[in-house]
Amino acid sequence: MKKVLNEWCINAPWGEIALISWGDPNGSPILLVHGRQDSSAGFIPLLELLPDNYYYVALDLPGHGKSDPFPIGIMLQRFHYVAAISMVVDHLGWDKFMYLAHSMASELGLFYNAIYPNRVRKFILLDPGLSLVRLMKYLYNNFTDFYKKYDEYYTNYDDYVKDTRVYSKRKAIDAVKRARGLTEEQAELILSRNLKEIGPDQYRLSWDKRLKVLMTWYEPEDYYLELFSRNCPPLFIVSAAESLNYFDPKVSERMDGFFEKLRAKVDHFQLVTVPGGHDVHITHPFRISKEICEFLETNYDHDYKSKL
């Protein structure tokens, strides 16, 4: 297993954000950001196959892994997590860095780049379609459904802000295996940063229960296309072939169309489709590691700077 270089926490106004690093501190920096109800541990299988000459730093987003949750109160939105990423980048003192993300963290990085242009040197986004499609889910014709999410949260407020569930380690592993289609070893890896022991073989999950009703704002596709393509650095997308099966086939077609429009607006755009599900970087990392390594090693700086 790739040796952990360091593990530490930084202070945020609401608590602590947990960080972990691997690789060479003198190498080019890469920020790793996981998706919803996950943790930085999910990158470990892929990191085993990536070069050691980069400096990889991962964070546990608030309410995930070993990071404290946001304060209870108003309903959380996905965009809130961009602030945590910004705090981590400022703490690390990085002026420029590469960004490797899974699922929801893909949109967080794209939002970050829109706010802080020209700081992200490259994007590597692992199966972002399942997350991006949610940004365009509710528009004018079903605005009532959009509001119902808020009504659900506040009507059942205590259920979302208090989590008294207790698991044995066995039950926690089995639950993750069922929910995400993972092996025993993979489920243990995911839970390695997400279990809090409260007694003999008694655990609570560190995932914020409010993640089940995490909201975003919804805009037309053209809005996100313009926002995400503006000042976009070289972009590499991994699409898991089985991922969008959760939705109607029309949704998959919609995301394919969105990516093709994005391709036309981004100077250096690559998309590879690989067999596997949403967690392919955990279950079959070798299916994507070679292409990621080639993308990391390709120098786009001259072409990219000439466009600025």
Identity of the amino acid at 277? G
Q: What is the rounded CA–CA span in Å between residue 276 and residue 282?
A: 10
Write down the residue that tokens 């990621």 correspond to: 292
Lowest mean pLDDT among 3-7, 53-57, 172-176, 199-203: 3-7
Query: What pLDDT digit, counting tens, does each position of 115-146 carry?
Result: 999 999 999 999 999 899 888 775 656 778 88
Structure confidence by residue, pLDDT tens digits, 18-39: 999 999 999 999 999 999 999 9
- Label residue 101 by pLDDT band (50, 70, 90): very high
What lies within 8 Å, CB to CB, of 173 at 6+ separation is 184, 187, 188, 191
Give the residue from 41, 62, 75, 42 showing the smallest Cα distance to 280. Answer: 42
What pLDDT was estimated at residue 155? 96
The pTM score is: 0.94
| Alpha carbons 42 and 213: distance in angstroms, whole number | 22
Pairing verdict, β 15-23 and 4-12: antiparallel
- State the amino acid at position 304 in one-letter form: Y
Amino acid letter, residue 51: P
Q: Give the distance, in angstroms, between the CA of residue 9 and the centroid of all CA atoms in the same chain.
A: 19
Closest residue by Cα to residue 120 from 230, 37, 284:
230
Quote the CA–CA distance of 59 and 61 in Å, as a whole number.
Answer: 6
- 253-266: pLDDT as tens digits: 888 899 999 999 99
Both tokens of 253, joined, read: 């077609």
Phi-psi region of 151 (alpha: psi -120 to 50; beta: other; left: phi over 0): alpha
Structure tokens at 216: 């975003």
Residue appearing with tokens 């997590």: 81
Residue 258, token pair as written in the block: 């969105």
Q: Cα 253 to chain center, whole Å?
A: 22
All structural domains of the chain, each given as residue ranges with its CATH number in brackets, are 4-137+209-307 (3.40.50.1820)
Q: How many residues does the chain have?
A: 308
Residue 227 pLDDT grade (very low, low, confident, very high; cuts 50, 70, 90):
very high
Q: Which contacts (CB < 8 Å, 24+ apart) does range 141-144 have?
A: none
The answer to which of 70-74, 82-86, 250-254 has the lowest mean pLDDT is: 250-254
Question: ∠ CA(187), CA(212), CA(223), 5° rounding?
Answer: 110
* Rg for the chain, CA atoms, rounded: 19
